[in-house]
Structure 1
Amino acid sequence: MSAAAATGPVVDAEYVAEIGRARRDLRALIASKSCAPIMLRLAWHDAGTYDKNTITGGPTIDFVPGRRDSSVAIEEGRLPDAKQGASHLREVFYRMGLTDKDIVALSGGHTLGKARPDRSGFDGAWTKDPLKFDNSYFIELLKGDSNGLLKLPTDKVLVEDADFRRFVELYAKDEDAFFRDYAESHKKLSELGFTPSRATLLAWGCRDKAKRAVTRTTTVFAVAVAVIACAYICESKRRLSG
């Protein structure tokens, strides 16, 4: 599973101005925090995060960059309780403007990973290959009790509730439909409460150039950080030697 930026940059006056402000902020940060070596290392690692191939599989999920993480934790009890039923799931997800299809599609994320007793009180994997993103979660749900595989109460309710079950049956037989709907629901969930700026929308509006844009943008950013960091190191050495 991978995430792809939605466009290639549109270089207008506002975009250039934002890049200029970012450059000034970066220079100020490096100078005030003496973090040039760290920034140089960050640029090197950032450039090395691109994966040409992935063995996990799954859909490509478009995203629009620019959302800021909150510095304040939300109140407890906002996430679904795995011990609850259909009405609880709907209460939690409907509050966020999501639908039954979103609930089932996002539940399919359990195809990856395992539950840990120290974190959730449950233990085990939902599928036989928890390192691969596919539609096996739904296939196992329709089998009923699968030996050695985990099924939470909130998993079981997906086949017990008629409105949920129709999506389970669809995704079990049509992996492409699951990938498509999961990518759509994941994007919808990740962008809740986020209104991108005009500059961001301009910079990321060409979906047909998504993959190229990710590679190019990452490389340009890494090179820019590296150049600024190297310049600062050289300037610092020159001042010390002088």
Structure 2
Amino acid sequence: MEKTPVDDEYLKEIDKARRELRALIYNERCASLMLRLAWQDACTYDPESKIKGGPNGSIKSDQELGRQENGGLSKAVKLCEEVKAKLKKVSYADLYQLAGVVAVEVTGGPTIHFLPGREDSLEPPQEGRHPHPEEKSASHLRDIFTTRMGLTDQDIVALFGSHTLGKDDHFGKGKWIGNLKKFDNSYFVELLKKDASLLKVFPADIALVEDKKFRNYVEMYAKDEDVFFKDYAAAHKKFCELGCNLDTSIIPKVPPEKLKLIMPKVKGVIGIVIVSTATLGYLRRRKNNQLKK
């Protein structure tokens, strides 16, 4: 599929999609569901496979959506269609990952830097790439998130902190349900309680407190929510960009004349490089738009 350039119009649509998703998630109370949609799409990434998977929107295919691990997500896909119908350019891959970012933010979680430009794919990846919730082994989590995806122990524990929103109705039946309206560090606080086993969490969750290295991060995040938010934002960004080769030179649309106003606040060579890069990017986009006309 031909890649859609991330031009000014695309960025404007991303802003529109963000606004629409905020209203949708608030009205439907579906933050947990949208976060799970983003997670399930991204978690299929395997750089060694012919079909690499990852955050490419393939989860909307009937074949992938019908898999047991994606049960209940048809509702999330359907809700996203309401937003997609109001857009012309934004890919499903970007829409689903933006939905996850917005779900965290509107429930009081950290702001996550979102880079657009993901390409859609219609090829469902191999089945069985997601972590098995009933698998208690810490090595199982590392095989998936570290060996296959390149994430660290810190990333893994931080990402699992998203369970603070609880599980949606299908995924969480008979399991612990967190506060569906509030993204905080309560997941880690609860895991460290002596009766954590009574929370009805999955064995995979318990692995975080039984493994010494994982537990260090659990204790740190239970103690300091600000640290958790910082690490979660970084881990989420890394996770939702797996294999996407996004253009990191995309800078907020600020004309050169406005950049001059903030120049005195920027110190040193690094500041000059940032402003210069933004200026060149702006001029390049403007030139491309003129050529199209």
1:189 has 2:239 as partner? yes
Q: Which residue of 2 aligns with 1:65?
A: 116
Which of 228, 231, 249 is the matching residue for 1:201? Answer: 249
1:80 has 2:131 as partner? yes
Which of 86, 89, 100 is the matching residue for 1:42? Answer: 86
Q: CA offset at residue 55 of structure 1?
A: 6.0
1:101 has 2:154 as partner? yes
Does the 8 Å contact 2:167/2:177 carry over to 1? yes
Q: CA offset at residue 196 of structure 1?
A: 2.3
SS, match of residue 124 in structure 2: coil
With the length of structure 2 as denominator, give the TM-score of the two structures: 0.49
Q: CA offset at residue 115 of structure 1?
A: 5.1
Structure-2 separation of matches of 1:171 and 1:136: 9
- Aligned in 2, Cα 1:155/1:201: closer, same or farther, shift over 3 Å? same
SS, match of residue 199 in structure 2: coil
SS, match of residue 113 in structure 2: strand
Letter paired with 1:158: L
Structure-1 separation of matches of 2:201 and 2:250: 44
Q: Where does 1:19-30 land on structure 2 (aligned, <5 Å)? A: none
Structure-1 separation of matches of 2:116 and 2:10: 17
Structure-2 separation of matches of 1:143 and 1:126: 16
Letter paired with 1:101: Q
- Aligned in 2, Cα 1:203/1:148: closer, same or farther, shift over 3 Å? same
Does the 8 Å contact 1:64/1:204 carry over to 2? no
Does the 8 Å contact 1:113/1:131 carry over to 2? no
Q: CA offset at residue 182 of structure 1?
A: 0.5
- Aligned in 2, Cα 1:185/1:91: closer, same or farther, shift over 3 Å? same
- Aligned in 2, Cα 1:160/1:126: closer, same or farther, shift over 3 Å? farther
- Aligned in 2, Cα 1:178/1:18: closer, same or farther, shift over 3 Å? closer
Q: Could you list the per-position Cα deviations for residues 75-126 of structure 1 after superposition, in whole angstroms to 9, with x for gaps in the alignment? A: 111110111110100000011010100110000010013254x547x52334
Letter paired with 1:73: P
- Aligned in 2, Cα 1:146/1:65: closer, same or farther, shift over 3 Å? same
Structure-1 separation of matches of 2:185 and 2:10: 45
Q: Could you list the per-position Cα deviations for residues 52-89 of structure 1 after superposition, in whole angstroms to 9, with x for gaps in the alignment? A: xx762110000111112321111111110111110100
Letter paired with 1:170: M
Letter paired with 1:93: F
Runs of 5+ unmatched residues, structure 2: 12-81, 91-98, 255-261, 263-293
Q: Could you list the per-position Cα deviations for residues 123-181 of structure 1 after superposition, in whole angstroms to 9, with x for gaps in the alignment? A: 23343x23210000000000033586331101111010000000000000000000010
Of 54-63 and 74-83, more deviation after overlay is shown by: 54-63
SS, match of residue 108 in structure 1: helix
With the length of structure 1 as denominator, give the TM-score of the two structures: 0.58
The structure whose RCO (Cα within 8 Å, separation 6+) is larger is: 1
Letter paired with 1:136: S
Percentage of matched positions with identical amino acids? 49
Letter paired with 1:159: V
Does the 8 Å contact 1:114/1:123 carry over to 2? no
Runs of 5+ unmatched residues, structure 1: 1-14, 23-37, 209-242
Structure-1 separation of matches of 2:10 and 2:205: 48
Q: Which residue of 2 aligns with 1:228?
A: none
Q: Which has the higher strand share?
A: 1
Q: Which residue of 2 aligns with 1:151?
A: 201
